[in-house]
Amino acid sequence: DGGITQSPKYLFRKEGQNVTLSCEQNLNHDAMYWYRQDPGQGLRLIYYSQIVNDFQKGDIAEGYSVSREKKESFPLTVTSAQKNPTAFYLCASSLKVAGPETQYFGPGTRLLVL
Amino acid sequence: QKEVEQNSGPLSVPEGAIASLNCTYSDRGSQSFFWYRQYSGKSPELIMFIYSNGDKEDGRFTAQLNKASQYVSLLIRDSQPSDSATYLCAVKWGGSEKLVFGKGTKLTVNP
């Protein structure tokens, strides 16, 4: 059963704490993405990766970090430098970055600040 | 700055009617266009994509692209209450690695 999984579904962060959101895909896609969605807003790109061990900043990368050690996995760390982290975080993947490739989304992680 | 604009709505239609959702984009040279449906609290799911001018039909859904006027629309025929959701338009420009999303139009189909 192919798809994208994200965990946890809900995550609570305390002030000054770093938290990591998991994203795994078994679609054999090269490209993976992280988006943030705030209420009434469109999706904003945080980071993306075209290939293992390579990633690029999106439009709102400050306060976030990523790694891509395996093709299947693209975890996102929300650092303490991100002052307004409360949002719905969506991971996506596509066959590749270039060209008109469709992006498919995981179920999302909702991050809340305590 | 490439932008994608959608009427935030809400758009309300009666069951069985045609719902028309519109999207405009800021820059010519765009390559591909995507419509996603997002139910409240859920992640976006792809409905359709379109690359060429004209219409593309898939079941009750029709995407219409007019590159000269820089708009893309989604028509939903025989609207059902289960179609009630926010519809996101996304555009990928040629040569770009990024997909740019509109803020979405909230559709409500009334029984």
The per-residue pLDDT of chain A, averaged, comes to 93
Contact A42/B103, CB-based, under 8 Å? yes
- Tell me which residues of chain B have a C-beta less than 8 Å from any C-beta of chain A: 4, 8, 31-32, 34, 36, 42-46, 49, 51, 88, 90, 92, 97-99, 101-104
Answer whether B75's CB lies under 8 Å from B18's CB: yes
| Shortest Cα distance, chain A CAs vs residue B101, angstroms | 6
Output the CA–CA distances (angstroms, integers) from residue A37 to A34, B18, B59, in the order listed. Answer: 10, 28, 29
Answer whether A76's CB lies under 8 Å from A20's CB: yes
Contact B45/A105, CB-based, under 8 Å? yes
The fraction of chain A above a pLDDT of 90, given in percent, is 81
| Shortest Cα distance, chain B CAs vs residue A56, angstroms | 10
Query: pLDDT tens across B45-89, in order?
Result: 999 999 999 999 999 999 999 999 999 999 999 999 999 999 999
Output the CA–CA distances (angstroms, integers) from residue A28 to A31, A50, A56, A103, in the order listed. Answer: 9, 12, 20, 13
Query: pLDDT tens across A17-59, in order?
Result: 999 999 999 999 999 999 999 988 889 999 999 999 999 999 9
> In the prediction, which pLDDT does A99 show?
74
The per-residue pLDDT of chain B, averaged, comes to 93
Q: How far apart are the first and last CA of chain B?
A: 41
| Shortest Cα distance, chain A CAs vs residue B77, angstroms | 24
Counting other chains too, the contacts that B38-41 makes at CB distance below 8 Å and 24 or more residues apart are: B38/B85, B38/B86, B38/B87, B38/B88, B38/B104, B39/B85, B39/B86, B40/B85, B40/B86
| Span of A44-58, A78-92, B37-51, B88-102 with lowest mean pLDDT | B88-102
What tokens appear for B16 in the block? 């069985």
| Shortest Cα distance, chain B CAs vs residue A73, angstroms | 19
pLDDT mean over A67-87: 95
Nearest residue in chain B measured CA to CA from A103: B46
Strands B105-110 and B11-14: parallel
Separation of alpha carbons B34 and A112, rounded Å: 30
Phi and psi at residue B81, in whole multiples of 5°? -55, -30
Tell me whether A109 touches chain B (CB under 8 Å).
no
Closest CA to A43 of A30, A18, A60, A25: A60
Interchain CB contacts (distance < 8 Å): A and B: 47
> In the prediction, which pLDDT does A92 show?
97
Is residue A1's pLDDT more than 70? no
Residues of A within 8 A of B88 (CB-CB) are 42-43
